[in-house]
């Protein structure tokens, strides 16, 4: 298979599937998938630091499907209306951060580690793989 068709197949199996799931704007900036996601729909208002979710750290430990299908995380920064009642109830982060799969929710600062007032966004990749997406370029 030549490089072109290999690339085409790669695009076919990853980006297009993702685009279908997202049902909206997908750029070809696939690396942003591995950036840290800052989640701040409610934290600042509640006097907590914004949540920083290290995507790459998790992504190398679990398949996409575990979170984005089985646990129902939507492919959108800030798109999941997560709150602590749900987390403590075992939904979203709480499916793992329960003292069994991973450390439990009492470690507030592990998740609420963002700088106050950082808006919901995909932050630059922790692996800083290739490019840093422009701030605000992603949903």
Q: Rounded to whole angstroms, how far apart are CA atoms 96 and 24?
A: 29
- Minimum CB distance to ligand HEC smaller for 8 or for 108: 108
**What does residue 103 show for φ and ψ, rounded to 5 degrees?**
-55, 155
- Give, as one character, the DSSP assignment of residue 102: B
Q: Does 39 bind ligand HEC (CB under 6 A)?
A: yes
- Give, as one character, the DSSP assignment of residue 131: -
Q: Which of residues 80-109 bind ligand HEC (CB under 6 A)?
A: 80, 82-85, 87, 92-93, 95-97, 101-103, 105-108
Q: Does 57 bind ligand HEC (CB under 6 A)?
A: yes
Q: Does 53 bind ligand HEC (CB under 6 A)?
A: yes
Contact partners, residue 128, CB within 8 Å, separation at least 6 = none
- Minimum CB distance to ligand HEC smaller for 2 or for 129: 129
């Amino acid at each position: 298979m030549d490089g072109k068709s290999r690339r085409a197949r790669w695009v076919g199996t990853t980006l297009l599937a993702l685009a279908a799931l997202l049902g909206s704007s997908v750029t070809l900036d696939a690396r942003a998938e591995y950036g840290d996601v800052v989640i701040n729909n409610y934290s600042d208002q509640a006097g907590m630091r914004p949540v920083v979710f290290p995507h790459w750290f998790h992504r190398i430990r679990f398949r996409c499907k575990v979170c984005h299908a089985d646990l129902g995380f939507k492919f959108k920064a800030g798109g999941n209306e997560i709150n602590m009642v749900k987390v403590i109830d075992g939904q979203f982060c709480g499916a793992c951060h329960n003292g069994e799969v991973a450390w439990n929710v009492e470690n507030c600062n592990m998740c609420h580690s963002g700088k106050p007032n950082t808006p919901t966004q995909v932050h630059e990749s922790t692996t800083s793989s290739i490019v840093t997406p422009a701030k605000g370029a992603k949903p």
